Amino acid sequence: GAVVSQHPSRVICKSGTSVKIECRSLDFQATTMFWYRQFPKQSLMLMATSNEGSKATYEQGVEKDKFLINHASLTLSTLTVTSAHPEDSSFYICSASPNPPSYGYTFGSGTRLTVV
């Protein structure tokens, strides 16, 4: 149980375009999901907390207008990278839990974004 699906796994886009990443909880409902960014051989950096039915909470230094988060249902959160630039190239991961925090968090498989 507790499966989180993330799509796409890899995406290449042109500079200036937008990219949407989906995160779905397949067998549980998640009122909260988390979005992380990870650079090679580094730890996870929390970008934002996605809240179902309300605005996301962004970490300090994360541009809200660049990284749009929508949590329209109890099983789906999306992260849209708007007007992407090469510096946005990274590995993005989502996570959720059926019973936070005691259960621990299940992570999506990640999305490798390359902006050219």
Partner 1 sequence: AQTVTQSQPEMSVQEAETVTLSCTYDTSENNYYLFWYKQPPSRQMILVIRQEAYKQQNATENRFSVNFQKAAKSFSLKISDSQLGDTAMYFCAFTSVKSKSTFGDGTTLTVKP
- The window from 13-21, 22-30, 72-80, 103-111 that contacts partner 1 (CB under 8 A) reads 103-111
> Is there binding between residue 8 and partner 1 (CB under 8 A)?
no
Q: Which residue, 75 or 111, has its beta carbon nearer to partner 1?
A: 111
Contact (CB, 8 A) for 39 and 61: no
- Which residue type is seen at 109? S
Tokens of 106: 């299940």
> Is there binding between residue 90 and partner 1 (CB under 8 A)?
no
Contact (CB, 8 A) for 90 and 99: no
Which of helix, strand or coil describes residue 114? strand
Residues that bind partner 1 (CB under 8 A): 34, 38, 41-44, 46, 49, 91, 93, 95, 100-107, 109-110
